């Protein structure tokens, strides 16, 4: 049948030449190629000790931000939990007391805030949904652990360190 | 036979056994390191400095693993298999001369366990026994893949033993002796047999790769087709024995190649060294040179493994029967004719 596209190419299989049937020329060529790799620099990064530099838009571990006075920005609106396609985020809201004004920026805050790192797919939608600029995925790689319960990160792991006075 | 002789031989046997195991142990480490360096990686480097303790960690792991004996296997043969593989791998080292005799005081100690006058035949006998470990293990597992692999191993070994034997005949025409001690002694200085028998050496080396089941002839254990081949059903230290036996085999074949073709413990300028250092220290340097040659061969084994892809089964048989055997026969004829002409004139 004629080819419609005119791109059809008939390849003929030639019998091996004597050199090819001896294997030896090809083997020496292969050996010299692998030998040259002995002297090349290893591409390995010794991970826990050395870390590869991340790109600036890398999405790693979440952190809950504080404002310039050191108050937690999160107001427990729940938009992050709603936007999360993996349903990794849960939170319980609470009302701010009068003597807690230096701790929380808005009248409502997250009493507990938990992200299940086994569910999280690090898509960054929570970051985009947040109206208060309270959550960012700017941390390192989430470390390995032994138990499932240890992958549920609470506020003690997520909230930024308080500002140094 | 005096007591000193027995003690001397006993120590020699123990040392050779220990050294074989040690080298086999560190061959596993070297294999991984060489593979890593050839692939621009680092290889194991966590256990101890540069991963030096990796073989120990592997050994402990092997011992701690659960041991499973398949219910439908032939229990007795299943257990004999790895032991046999290990045993046959170890006993081949008995006839290899590890160095020229050392004089300590007025005693001359031979660095060869036994100089039987059919040393070459002994090695061939033991090496061909080696396939029994694989065959028995593969058959006793009562598993399709294991059996296929055992059959492959047997037919591969039988095919390549012929070419190996024929390549040795050409060498024996030159040396006129089967004793390994005399074969090495004849290669004094730089008169190495590889210079007179390059084709024979090439055939022998290819066959050695096939006999030790190393890549590119590792069809008996090819992971992609036969899962693990003959040791599919093995676990724990039984598996360890099989893997270990392969490395001991590699060490022994390297030693045999170095002995038969690359001058054993001989090296250029050895007479000068012997004259200056005396008969106690010069043989030790010879032994060091011998081990250097062995390590070079072991490195070559690994280098080839991480370069060349596995042969297809029909290619393997083609190479053995249609390539190496006719070439070995031609080598015998040419060698014979040349020797006859040289002796005549």
Residues B171-203: tens digit of each pLDDT:
888 888 888 888 888 888 788 888 888 888 999
Contact B36 A33 (CB under 8 A): no
CA distance B237 to B245: 12
**Contact (CB, 8 A) for A66 and A137:** no
Q: Residues B313-333: pLDDT tens digits?
A: 888 888 888 888 999 999 999
In which residue are the tokens 């598996």 written?
B239
Would an 8 Å CB–CB cutoff place B281 in contact with chain A? no
Distance from CA of B319 to the nearest CA of A (A): 9
B297 min Cα distance to partner chain A (Å): 14
Per-residue pLDDT band for A128 (boundaries 50, 70, 90) equals: very high
| Backbone torsions φ then ψ of B254, nearest 5 degrees | -60, -45
Whole-Å CA distances, B278 to B182, B187, B292: 22, 20, 21
Q: Rounded distance, CA B58 to CA B1, Å?
A: 42
B310: containing domain: 3-344
Tell me which residue range forms the domain holding A81. Answer: 63-158
Which residues are A93's β-sheet partners? Answer: A110
On whether any CB of chain A is under 8 Å from the CB of B36, the answer is yes
Which residues from A are below 8 Å from B46, CB to CB? none
Specify if A52 maps to a domain: no
Instruction: Give the other-Cβ count within 10 Å of B69's Cβ.
Output: 15
B88, B129 contact by CB (below 8 A) = yes
- Residues B252, B89: Cα–Cα separation, whole Å: 8
Q: How many domains does chain A have?
A: 1
Q: How many whole angstroms separate alpha carbon B230 and alpha carbon B218?
A: 11
Residue A80 lies in a domain: yes
Q: Does A27 touch chain B (CB under 8 A)?
A: yes
pLDDT band at A152 (very low <50, low <70, confident <90, very high): very high
> Nearest Cβ partner of A44 from B41, B304, B307?
B41
What would the pLDDT profile of B148-177 be if each residue is shown by its tens digit?
888 888 888 888 888 888 988 988 888 888
pTM value is: 0.81
Q: What rounded mean pLDDT belongs to chain A?
A: 88
**Which residues from A are below 8 Å from B36, CB to CB?**
42
What phi, psi does A104 have (nearest 5°)?
-125, 140
Q: Does A165 score more than 70 pLDDT?
A: no
Best A26, A28, A29, A44 residue to mutate vs chain B (most B CBs within 10 Å): A44
Predicted confidence band of residue A79 (pLDDT cuts 50, 70, 90): very high
Neighbour order of strands in the sheet with A108-116: A89-95, A108-116, A152-153
Average pLDDT estimate for A154-162: 88
Q: Looking at beta carbons, which residues of chain B come within 8 Å of A46? A: 42, 45
pLDDT by 10s per residue, chain B, length 345: 688 888 888 888 898 889 888 988 899 899 999 989 888 888 888 888 888 898 889 889 888 888 888 887 788 888 888 888 888 888 888 888 888 877 777 777 777 778 788 888 888 888 888 788 888 888 888 888 888 888 888 888 888 888 888 988 988 888 888 888 888 888 887 888 888 888 889 999 998 888 888 878 887 777 667 777 788 888 888 888 888 888 888 898 899 889 888 888 888 887 788 788 777 788 888 888 889 999 999 999 999 988 888 888 888 888 888 888 999 999 999 999 998 898 887
| A20 falls within a domain | no
CATH number at residue A149: 3.30.70.3270
Number of domains in chain B: 1
Q: Are residues B303 and A44, on separate chains, in Cβ contact within 8 Å?
A: no
CB contact under 8 A, B308 and A40: no
- Residue-level pLDDT at B1: 61
Which pLDDT score is estimated for A6? 81
| pLDDT on residue A62 | 92
Exposed/middle/buried for B2, CB within 10 Å: 0-12, 13-18, 19+? exposed
Distance from CA of B327 to the nearest CA of A (A): 11
- On whether residue A6 sits in a domain, the answer given is no
Q: Which residues 6+ apart lie within 8 Å of B55 measured at CB? A: B25, B26, B28, B29
Using the Cβ of B37 and the Cβ atoms of chain A, whether some distance falls under 8 Å is answered with yes
- Give dist(CA A93, CA A7) in Å, integer: 66
Distance from CA of A54 to the nearest CA of B (A): 21
A66 phi, psi to nearest 5 deg? -115, 160
Q: What sign for the dihedral angle of Cα B114, B118, B123, B125?
A: negative
d(CA A109, CA A131): 14
Compare CB distances from A34 to B36, B42, B303 and report the shortest one's residue: B303
Report if residue A22 sits inside a domain: no
Please indicate whether, in this complex, the C-beta atoms of A37 and B41 are within 8 angstroms of each other. Answer: no
The candidate with the shortest Cα–Cα distance to B182, out of B121, B115, B279, is: B115
Structure tokens at B187: 């290669």
Q: Do B40 and A33 touch (CB under 8 A)?
A: no
For residue A19, tell me if it sits in a domain: no
**B-chain residues within 8 Å CB-CB of A35?**
38, 303
* Cβ-defined contact of A46 to B42 (cutoff 8 Å): yes
Q: State whether B40 and A42 contact (CB < 8 Å).
A: yes
**Residue B67 structure tokens:** 């041991």
Q: Is residue A24 part of a domain?
A: no
Task: Tell me if A42 and B303 make a contact (CB, 8 A cut-off).
Answer: no
Q: What letter does residue B262 receive in the DSSP assignment?
A: S
- Phi, then psi, of A144 in degrees rounded to 5: -75, 160
Token digits for B14? 């123990």
* Pairwise CA distance, residues B334 & B330, whole Å: 6
Q: Calculate how close chain B gets to A144, using CA atoms only, in Å.
A: 18
B323/chain A closest Cα distance in angstroms? 9
């Amino acid at each position: 049948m004629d080819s419609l596209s005119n791109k059809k190419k008939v390849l003929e299989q030639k019998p091996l030449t004597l050199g090819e049937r001896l294997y030896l020329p090809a083997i020496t060529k292969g050996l010299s190629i692998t030998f040259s790799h002995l002297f090349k620099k290893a591409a390995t990064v010794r991970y826990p000790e050395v870390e590869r530099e991340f790109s600036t838009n890398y999405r790693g571990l979440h952190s809950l931000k504080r404002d310039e006075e050191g108050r937690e920005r999160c107001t427990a609106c729940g938009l992050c939990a709603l936007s999360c396609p993996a349903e990794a985020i849960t939170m319980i809201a609470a009302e701010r007391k009068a003597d807690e004004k230096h701790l929380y920026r808005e009248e409502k805050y997250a009493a507990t805030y938990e992200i299940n790192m086994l569910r999280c797919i690090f898509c960054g939608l929570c970051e985009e949904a947040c109206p208060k600029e309270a959550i960012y995925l700017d941390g390192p790689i989430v470390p390995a652990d032994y138990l499932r319960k240890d992958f549920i990160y609470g506020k003690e792991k997520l909230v930024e360190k308080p500002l140094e006075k | 036979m005096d007591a000193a002789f027995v003690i001397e031989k006993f120590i020699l046997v123990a040392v050779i056994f220990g050294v074989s195991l040690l080298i086999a142990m560190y061959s596993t480490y070297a294999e991984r390191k060489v593979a890593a360096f050839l692939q621009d990686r680092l290889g194991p480097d966590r256990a101890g400095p540069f991963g030096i303790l990796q073989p120990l960690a592997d050994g402990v792991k092997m011992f701690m693993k659960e041991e499973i004996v398949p219910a439908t296997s032939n229990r007795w043969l299943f257990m004999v298999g790895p032991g046999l593989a290990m045993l046959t791998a170890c006993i081949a080292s008995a006839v290899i001369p590890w160095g020229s005799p050392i004089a300590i005081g007025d005693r001359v100690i031979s660095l060869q366990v036994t100089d039987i006058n059919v040393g070459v035949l002994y090695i061939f006998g033991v090496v061909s026994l080696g396939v029994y470990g694989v065959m028995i293990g593969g058959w006793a597992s009562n598993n399709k893949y294991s059996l296929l692999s055992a059959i492959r191993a047997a037919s591969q070994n039988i095919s390549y033993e012929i070419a190996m034997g024929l390549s040795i005949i050409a060498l024996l025409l030159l040396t006129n002796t089967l004793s390994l001690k005399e074969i090495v002694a004849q290669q004094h200085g730089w008169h190495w047999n590889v210079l007179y028998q390059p084709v024979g050496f090439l055939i022998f080396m290819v066959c050695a790769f096939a006999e030790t089941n190393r890549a590119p002839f590792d069809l008996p254990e090819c992971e992609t087709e036969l899962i693990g081949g003959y040791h599919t059903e093995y676990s724990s230290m039984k598996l360890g024995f099989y893997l270990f036996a392969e490395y001991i085999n590699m060490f022994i074949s390297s030693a045999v190649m170095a002995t038969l073709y690359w001058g054993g413990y001989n090296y250029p300028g050895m007479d000068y060294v012997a004259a200056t250092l005396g008969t106690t220290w010069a043989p030790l340097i010879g032994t060091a040179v011998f081990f250097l040659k062995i390590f070079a061969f072991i490195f070559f084994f690994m280098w080839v493994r991480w370069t060349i892809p596995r042969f297809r089964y029909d290619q393997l048989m083609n190479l053995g029967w249609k390539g190496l055997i006719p070439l070995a026969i031609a080598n015998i004829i040419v060698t014979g004719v040349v020797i006859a002409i040289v002796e005549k004139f």
